[in-house]
């Protein structure tokens, strides 16, 4: 049954079975999980602290409930040195070429030539 649950990726999942807690680790795709007969969806939606803005339409396969991080700006910073580019540059150039991004490949090629 959990295989079907993970495929359906429900917005809300109530586990109302014996030893429901033991099943929680097997749930991979659900917006919110309500564990046991004493945890109805309404409890989580309104007063238990779980976010009520949940992924719908099977989006729980790749998305989570809304959280503070969704409103924060993130920035990646990449640093490299000649040794790092020597190790990763050739592979990156192959990927860039496969994507049709010749200048990206060139920017790595010129740094990996010895």
Q: Does the annotation mark 74 as catalytic?
A: no
> 57 in the Ramachandran plot: left (φ > 0), alpha (ψ -120 to 50) or beta?
left
CB 112 within 8 A of CB 83: no
- Alpha carbons within 13 angstroms on the beta-carbon side of residue 84 total 4
- Alpha carbons within 13 angstroms on the beta-carbon side of residue 22 total 3
Q: Does the annotation mark 90 as catalytic?
A: no
Active site residues: 11-12
């Amino acid at each position: 049954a959990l295989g079907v649950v993970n495929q359906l990726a429900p917005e809300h999942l109530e586990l109302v079975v014996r030893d429901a807690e033991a099943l929680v680790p097997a749930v991979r795709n659900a917006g919110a999980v309500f564990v046991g007969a004493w945890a109805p969806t309404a409890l989580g939606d309104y007063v238990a602290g779980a976010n009520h803005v949940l992924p719908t339409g099977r989006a729980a396969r790749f998305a989570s409930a809304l959280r503070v991080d969704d409103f924060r700006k993130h920035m990646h910073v990449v640093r490299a040195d000649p040794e790092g580019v020597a190790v990763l540059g050739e592979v990156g150039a192959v990927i860039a070429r496969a994507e049709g991004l010749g200048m990206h490949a060139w920017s790595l090629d010129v740094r990996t030539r010895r």
